[in-house]
A and B are shown apart, each in its own frame.
Chain A
Amino acid sequence: NAGVTQTPKFRILKIGQSMTLQCTQDMNHNYMYWYRQDPGMGLKLIYYSVGAGITDKGEVPNGYNVSRSTTEDFPLRLELAAPSQTSVYFCASSATAQANEKLFFGSGTQLSVL
């Protein structure tokens, strides 16, 4: 019952460093998403993917890149970390694109950029 797995759980970066947040799901879902949650705010969509090889921008994509080479994996890349990217990051997946379909979430990555 792994579901959606994110690594790492916590990370501290220095300004200008780069890193990749890993996300993998074992439910064979086509749809995958990256969200960020800033303190006191709702989750905002960074990028999403509708299947292997297909990605698109969400609401707040600047400073991030994604790839989707397999159905299972959807890594999020930060190339030049900035303090504004300090946030909690959630990966999610869903089986369909229907509006009433629920999302399955990972447990999150807490990232601090100092």
Chain B
Amino acid sequence: GDSVTQMEGPVTLSEEAFLTINCTYTATGYPSLFWYVQYPGEGLQLLLKATKADDKGSNKGFEATYRKETTSFHLEKGSVQVSDSAVYFCALRSGYNKLIFGAGTRLAVHP
């Protein structure tokens, strides 16, 4: 069945460091891909999405490119801030009842 695998955390970085969180997926067909973020004490919220191969989603300095050939959707940011500390979830959706999440990656950014 469909699945999402993302790198284990926690990821600990200093402010202004480069961030990569790896995400790969297995799916039949051509799902939409998402990154959701969960800040402390809050629910998940959409960070960015891509709906077809080679699409690049971007928001708040974060980017991810839908790579069909490597079945990947890695999250990147050039310069992280303390306020980016959160849990990041990669997800795919191929139908209204079929949103598959990765396990989440906790990011901690220190000043």
A is bound by B: yes
Give A residues with C-beta under 8 Å from B.
Answer: 4, 6, 31, 33, 35, 37, 40-43, 45, 48, 50, 56, 58, 90, 92, 94, 96-108
Interface size class of B (residues with CB under 8 A): 20 to 34
> Which residue from chain A places its CB closest to the CB of B30 in the assembled complex?
A99
Number of A-B pairs, beta carbon distance below 8 Å? 64
* B93 part of interface (Cβ distance < 8 Å): yes
Given A100-B49, A107-B42, CB of A43 within 8 Å of CB of B89: yes
Whether B97 pairs with A45 at a CB distance below 8 angstroms is yes
The 10 A-B pairs with the shortest beta carbon distances in the complex, nearest first, are: A97-B96, A42-B101, A105-B43, A105-B44, A102-B46, A100-B32, A107-B43, A43-B101, A100-B51, A99-B32
Could you list 11 examples of A-B contacts with CB < 8 Å? A41-B103, A42-B104, A48-B97, A90-B43, A98-B96, A99-B32, A100-B49, A100-B51, A105-B36, A105-B44, A106-B43
Whether A107 pairs with B41 at a CB distance below 8 angstroms is yes
> Which residue from chain B places its CB closest to the CB of A107 in the assembled complex?
B43
* B53 part of interface (Cβ distance < 8 Å): no
Please report the C-alpha to C-alpha distance between residue A58 and residue B98 in the assembled complex, in whole angstroms.
9
Please report the C-alpha to C-alpha distance between residue A40 and residue B64 in the assembled complex, in whole angstroms.
23
Whether A45 pairs with B45 at a CB distance below 8 angstroms is no
List residues of chain A with CB within 8 A of the CB of B41. Answer: 107
